[in-house]
Structure 1
Amino acid sequence: MPDRPVALVPAESADLAEVVAAPPLENLHRIGGEMFSWTDRDPQRSPALPSGGLLRYLFGSLAAPEKGGPGRTVLVAGPHSDELIGVLVDAGATVTWLLRSLTDAEECAAAHPAVTVLTGTLGKLAPDQYDLVLAADGVTRLNSAEGDQMPVGAMIDRLSLAVNAEGTLLLMHDNHFGVHHTVRLGPEGRHGTDASWYPEDSARPASRAALVDRIASAGLVADISFAAFPDPAAPAVLLSEKVLGDVASPLRPWLGSVVAQAFTAAYRGRPVLSDPRRLAGRALRAGAEDAVAGGWLVIAGSDKPRFMPHDVIVGDVHGTFTYGVDVSGSPELLVPVSEPLERAGLRRTGVPSVAAADGYLLEDRLLELCATSDVRRLRQEVIQFDSWVRDQARDGMLSGPVAVADVSDVLITRDGPVVLAVRWEPIDPVPVDTAVVRSLWQFAVRLITGARPHPWPITSSAMDLTTILLGMAGRGMTEPELRAAVDLQVAIDSAELGLRPAEQHDHKLNLLAVQPGTVPVDVVGYRELTEALWRQRYQTSHLLHMMEWTEDIIASRDRWLSKMDWEIQIYRASWPGRFLTVSRTAYRLISRDLRAARSRRRQRKAAAAAARRWRKSQKAKLPAED
C-alpha cells in the first residue's frame, strides 16, 4: 500500500445527519471484495480513465441499436470516464458497471441512475452473460486488496466467460514495453502511484499475438486487433493487424505524420526521458510499431466476426471527431466534430483529402539531405516546395490547410506535393510569404532544438537558418515577416492547447529566442536537455578558447611592443643612440625645410609663368588696336 495518505480520505469530516438523510442508491449493489478507503478516479495518484473520441466511437458502434436493438445488456468492467458511460446509456443499452472502489461506486451510481453499479472484485461477479463486455481500462484495476489477487490471464478468462453466445468483448491491454512506459520520467519505485501495489505477473500476455491467443483459448474469436497510440487510456490512433509491420504500405508516410501529431499533443509540456516521436518514428520505419505500441485493443466474439472497422482509426482525445482509413480507400468520416470549433483565428479541419499515396515526407528528405550536406538537392527540394505553396495562393493569399502546413505535413508524390493530416486551417487568408517563412522557420527550429546535423555552423540561430533556406529559393526575409510567421505558429499552438494571452506571450518569446543550446519548445525530454546542455558547454568552451587565443595574441603583441620600447630607451640613453636621435631630428628638420623650399620654388615658377603669359597676351592686343 502507498506510504502517503490515501487520496480518498476527505479533508473535512462529512455531516452525519446529511449522510443518514441521504436516500439509498437503489442501483448500487455490493458483491464482495469492495475497497472502502480507495479511489481510482484521482488523476494525481491513479492512471487516467479511458476516454477520447476513438473509444466513444467504438462504444457507440458496438452498443448501437442495429447491433441488437435497444436493451442490449452491457458489462463495463473497471473505471471508465463518465462520457463513455453516457454513450452507452444514450444508445439504449442496459448497462452494468463493475468498480472495486466503494466510494467511486457511490459517486457513479448517483451520477448515472440508469446504470446498475456493482462494487467489488471481478472474482465475486455473478456468472451472468452479457451481449457486450467492455474493458477499455484493462484488467489490472479489477483486482481488490480485500481479497485474493487473480492473475491477469484468469481475469481475461473471466471476462470472456461473461460474453454470451452472440456477444462481443472489447479489451484494452497495456503494453509494458510501450513507448509511454519507456519515456516516462518519474519515480519508478513500488509506491510511485496507487496502481503500483499489485505484484508483477510473469504469465501476463506481453504481445498482441499472446493476447489474441489467450482470448482464443477462452473460447472467443478475435474479430480484429489494434495497436493503440500514444496511450492506452486515451488512444488517438489505432492500427489494425493489416497495416502493422507493412513498411511497403502506401499508408506508411501518412501514419508517420498522424502518429507524430498524436505524441506531440499527448506529451507537450510533459517531462519525459526522451522525445517519444523519435522512438515511434524509428519503429514505424522498421515495421516494429506493434512492439512499442501503448497498448493493444482486441474485439472478439463467440462466433464469426461481426464488427470489422477500418484498417486505421484516428480520433480526437478531447472531442468526438473520428475518421477511418483503409489501405485501398479514401478517408471516411465516422464521427463529425460536435460543434464548429474556432480558436485563435483558426478553424478545426475535417477528414484529410488523401492518406494512401506513394511518396516521401518532405521533412524526412530535408533532414536526410541536411545530414549528408547535399546542398544542391536540398536547394531543389526547397525551390519545389516554395513554388508549390505559391501556386496555391490567390492574389498573394493562402487559405485552407496548406496555409498552416509545414514540411512535416507535406507528402511528395509523383503528381506533386500534397497535404496530409492538418488539424487546423485559418479563418481568414494568410499571406503566402508568411506561410512559407513559418514552414521553413519551423524546420529550422527542429534542426536546432533536435541537434540535427546540417551543413552550416552549429552557432547558427533559427533566424539565420531560415534566411539561408529562403535564400536557396531566391527569397529574402525581414524581421517583421519573421514575427508574423512566429505569430502564426503561436496561433496554431494556442488553438491546439487553448493557451491564455499571458501564456501566448511567453510562448512567443521562447520561439523567438531559439538558438543552439535551446531545448525543444514542445516535448522536453531528459535526453534533449542533455543534448542542449552539451551544445551550451560546446559554445562556452569555444568562447573560452577564443578568449584565451585573444589574450595570447594581446600578450604577444604587448611583449613585442615592450621589447621595442626597451630597445628604443637603450638607444636613447647611449651616445650612439643620442647621436642617432639628433641625426634623425636634423634629418626631419632638413627634410621639412627642403620640402618648404621646393614648394616656394614651384610657387615662384608658377607666378613667373603666369606673368609671362599675361605679357604675351598684352603684346598681342597692341597691333590689333593700331
Structure 2
Amino acid sequence: MRLPGGEMLTWSDRPGENADRPLAALAARLVPAGARVLLAGAHDPAVLDALTHARVTCLLRGYRDAATVTGRADQVVVAGSAGLPAGEEYDVVIAGAGLDAIESVEGPRLCWDEILARLAAALRPDGELLLRVPNPLGLHRLVAGDAWYAGRADAEWTVDGVLDTSRPANLDQARVRLATAGLGVVTCFAAYPRMDLTTALLATDQLSWRTTNALFDAVLHDACTSGFAGRFVLADPARLAVDALHAGRAADLAPSWLVLARRTGTSRSTPTPADMGEHVGAHGLPVALVRFGAVGSTVVEVIDGASGWHWRRPEPHARTEPHARPEPHVRAEPHARPEPHARTEPAPAPYASRMVAHRDPAAPDGPVPDGRLLRSLLLDGCLRRDTSRLRHLLRGYTDWLTGQADDGRLTGAVALAGAENLVVAGDRFAVLDPTWRADEPLPVDVVLARTLWRFSADLLTGGYAHPWTSTLDVAGLTVVLGGVAGRDLDRAVVDAAVETEAAVSATVRGLDADGPIRLAADLRAVTPTDPPPGPRSYQQLREAWLRQRDENTRLAAALKWTEELLTSRERALRRAEAKIDLLSGTLGYKAARLAITPARLARRGARAATRRARAIVTRKERT
C-alpha cells in the first residue's frame, strides 16, 4: 500500500456486495491475461475477483477501502487522482464508479476533464478506458421520491446534475470530451436500474432501434422492478423504462452509461465520426450482460452472432489464455471464444422432496427468440379495447400449449413460462428464458389459468384499463380471459393454478416447507384495490386509492339501496299489521272466530282418535 498524500483516512466508498456483477463480467472479457490494470475508485469486490488473471493497481481515496483490498491487488495507492504513479502506464483503466469516486478532498481539486486527462495519460497506446458516466436526467432521477438537489448527506458534497457544466450532461457530450482527451469511443452500454446497483448492461445502439425487442422489454422490466423493490418512488420505474424502450429512448433514460474508449495516441479538439461509436458486434462484445435471479446469481451474456442473438454464460475470465504473452499490453483476439465450462447441479433446497420446479444449470443457452413480449401485446390490446386482437393472441397461446402437451400435460420450461417470459413472432410462440423447469407434468388448463391469473393480477392491481366490467376480481377476470382463449375455466381450476403459482414462487425464492401455504393465502387475498407488488409508487398508490374510493362508493350505494328496500318492506309490514289489528276488532271477525272454533275442536278430536286407533292396532300386531 502506498500513501503519497491526499488520502481520506476515515472515508469509505465501498459499494454493496454483488452490486455490479455485469461490470465484473465485462471487465473479465476485456482484460487479457497478464495485462496491467488500473482500477480507479471503489468497486464491487466481484470486479476485483474477475481480474485475478491480471496485474491490478487499485487507486482509492479512502484508507478504509484500501485496507480491505490490500493483499488482493498487486498495488494499492491511497490518494486522489493526483496520486497516480508517475511514469506508469496501463493496458486497461477501469473507472466503473465514475470520476467523482477518484477525487479526494484532502488533495488538489480537479475538474472532470482534468481527471479524465490524467486517466487517459496513464493509458498505453491503444489502451482502453472503461468509464461510468452518470446521467443527471436518468430514470432514477425521474422516479425519485426525494429531490436530488436537497441532499445533505456526507457523500453529497458536490453538485451532480445539469447545473454543473464542467461535467458531461449526456452521452454525446461525454463522447466529445473523451475525443478531446484523445480517446475514441468503441461502444457504450446503458446501465440499469440504479446508479448504485447495476444488474443489466444493454448496448445503447441496439436499444435505440430494437424498440420492440422482447429481451430488452423483459430485462428492463425485471431489473427496474427488483431494483426499486420496497422503495418509495413517484411512478413505476419498470413501466417508464419499458415505455422509453418502445419510444427509442431507453438509452437516454439510463441511470448511467458505461463507455469503452480506446486511446488513439493523438489529441484533437473535435471528435471525428469514427470516435462517435461503432456497432457492438464488430468487436466481439456482448449486446447485453444480465444478472439473472437473486443476489450472487450468474451473469449471462447475449452475443450477436452470424445466426442472430444467442445466450452465453461467460467464463470467470473470458479473455484468459493459457500461453504466456510476449508483452502485457498486447491484446487478445476480440473473437476468441473459451471452451464451455463444466456445469454443476444447484444445491437442493431444504424441502427438496416437495419442490415442483428446478433451475436448469445449462440454461439459458442457445438462440434468443426474436419478437415481442406477450405481456406487452396483451396490455396493448387491453388498453385499446381490442378484443379481437386479445382473442387472437390468447387462442394462439392456447393452441400452442395444446400442441406442446403430451396427453394433456405440459413439462419443462413451457409449463412455467408466463406472459412475461413468452415471445410472439407472428403466430409463433417461444420461451425467452428456459431456466426454470417443472418437475411434474401440469395440466394444460392449469398452466393456462396460471398465466392468465398472473396477467389478471398485474392488470387489476396496476390499474390498467381493460374492456371488461370493473366489478370482476382476479379469479373472475381469469375465468373471463379463459373464455376469450376458448377454454371453459372454472374457479376450481383457477384455485389449482394459484396453488401452483405459490409452490413455484416458493421454490424460486428458496422458502421453507410452509412457504407455499403462506404464499397461497397471500395470493388468494389479492384484490383489484391492492397496489401492485414491488416499488411503492406514489402514482400507483394513488390509483389504488382511487379504486378503493370507487369500490367504497359502490358499496355505499348498494348499502343505501338495501336500507331503502328494508325500510319500504318494514313500512308495508306495519301497514299489514295495522289492517289486521283493525279487522280483528270488528263484529264480523268475532262471529267468524266463533263459527270456526267448533270446526277446530272437531279436527283436533279426530286427530287424537286417529292416533289412539293407530296405537291400538300397533300393540295388537306386536302381540
SS of the residue 1:290 aligns to: coil
Amino acid of the residue matched to residue 412 of structure 1? V
Show the counterpart of 2:251: 290
Amino acid of the residue matched to residue 321 of structure 1? V
Matching of residue 123 in structure 1 with residue 82 in structure 2: yes
SS of the residue 2:396 aligns to: helix
Deviation, 1:203, is 2.6
Show the counterpart of 1:412: 424
Show the counterpart of 1:351: 364
SS of the residue 1:177 aligns to: coil
Identity %: 30
Deviation, 1:582, is 6.8
1:319 pairs with 291, 294, 297, which one? 297
Amino acid of the residue matched to residue 383 of structure 2? A
Amino acid of the residue matched to residue 346 of structure 2? L
C-alpha contact 1:511 1:521 (8 A) present in aligned 2: no
Larger gyration radius, structure 1 or structure 2: 1
C-alpha contact 1:242 1:311 (8 A) present in aligned 2: no
For 2:470 and 2:181, locate their aligned partners in 1 and report how far apart those are by CA, in whole Å. 59
Q: List aligned pairs for 1:99-248, cutoff 5 A.
A: 99-110=60-71, 112=72, 114-127=73-86, 128-185=88-145, 190-191=150-151, 193-200=153-160, 201-247=164-210
Aligned length: 544
Show the counterpart of 1:310: 286
For 2:413 and 2:431, locate their aligned partners in 1 and report how far apart those are by CA, in whole Å. 8
**Superposed CA RMSD:** 3.2
For 2:596 and 2:436, locate their aligned partners in 1 and report how far apart those are by CA, in whole Å. 84
1:161-189 per-position Cα deviation (integer Å, ceiling 9, x unaligned): 22121211001122232223333345857
Show the counterpart of 1:41: 14
1:21-49 per-position Cα deviation (integer Å, ceiling 9, x unaligned): xxxxxxx1112111112222375xxxx77
C-alpha contact 2:98 2:132 (8 A) present in aligned 1: yes
For 1:582 and 1:376, locate their aligned partners in 2 and report how far apart those are by CA, in whole Å. 73
Show the counterpart of 1:389: 401
Matching of residue 553 in structure 1 with residue 565 in structure 2: yes
Deviation, 1:529, is 2.1
Deviation, 1:211, is 1.2
C-alpha contact 2:192 2:199 (8 A) present in aligned 1: yes
Show the counterpart of 1:21: none
Amino acid of the residue matched to residue 77 of structure 2? L
1:420-474 per-position Cα deviation (integer Å, ceiling 9, x unaligned): 2344223444333332221111111111111112233323221111122223344
C-alpha contact 1:59 1:87 (8 A) present in aligned 2: yes
C-alpha contact 2:138 2:256 (8 A) present in aligned 1: yes
Gaps of 5+ in 1: 1-27, 597-626
Show the counterpart of 2:335: none
Matching of residue 528 in structure 1 with residue 543 in structure 2: no
1:323-348 per-position Cα deviation (integer Å, ceiling 9, x unaligned): 22428613141416864336653214
Matching of residue 468 in structure 1 with residue 480 in structure 2: yes
For 2:115 and 2:5, locate their aligned partners in 1 and report how far apart those are by CA, in whole Å. 16
Amino acid of the residue matched to residue 218 of structure 1? A
For 2:60 and 2:589, locate their aligned partners in 1 and report how far apart those are by CA, in whole Å. 107
Range 126-135 or range 551-560, more displaced? 551-560
Amino acid of the residue matched to residue 445 of structure 1? A
For 1:503 and 1:193, locate their aligned partners in 2 and report how far apart those are by CA, in whole Å. 39
SS of the residue 2:208 aligns to: coil
SS of the residue 2:198 aligns to: coil
Aligned in 2, Cα 1:508/1:117: closer, same or farther, shift over 3 Å?
Answer: farther
Aligned in 2, Cα 1:364/1:62: closer, same or farther, shift over 3 Å?
Answer: closer
Show the counterpart of 1:622: none
Gaps of 5+ in 2: 265-273, 316-340, 350-354, 604-623
For 1:394 and 1:153, locate their aligned partners in 2 and report how far apart those are by CA, in whole Å. 64
Amino acid of the residue matched to residue 12 of structure 2? T
Deviation, 1:294, is 2.1
Taking structure 1 as the reference length, what is the TM-score of the superposition?
0.78
Taking structure 2 as the reference length, what is the TM-score of the superposition?
0.78
For 1:588 and 1:208, locate their aligned partners in 2 and report how far apart those are by CA, in whole Å. 106
Show the counterpart of 2:48: 85
C-alpha contact 1:486 1:511 (8 A) present in aligned 2: yes
Deviation, 1:501, is 4.7
Show the counterpart of 2:238: 277
Show the counterpart of 2:309: 330
1:216-273 per-position Cα deviation (integer Å, ceiling 9, x unaligned): 11111111112122234443333324313215x6x62332122212223333444433
C-alpha contact 1:441 1:462 (8 A) present in aligned 2: yes
Amino acid of the residue matched to residue 33 of structure 1? G
Aligned in 2, Cα 1:266/1:346: closer, same or farther, shift over 3 Å?
Answer: farther
Deviation, 1:546, is 1.5
1:179-203 per-position Cα deviation (integer Å, ceiling 9, x unaligned): 2333334585755644223234333
2:5 pairs with 26, 32, 35, which one? 32
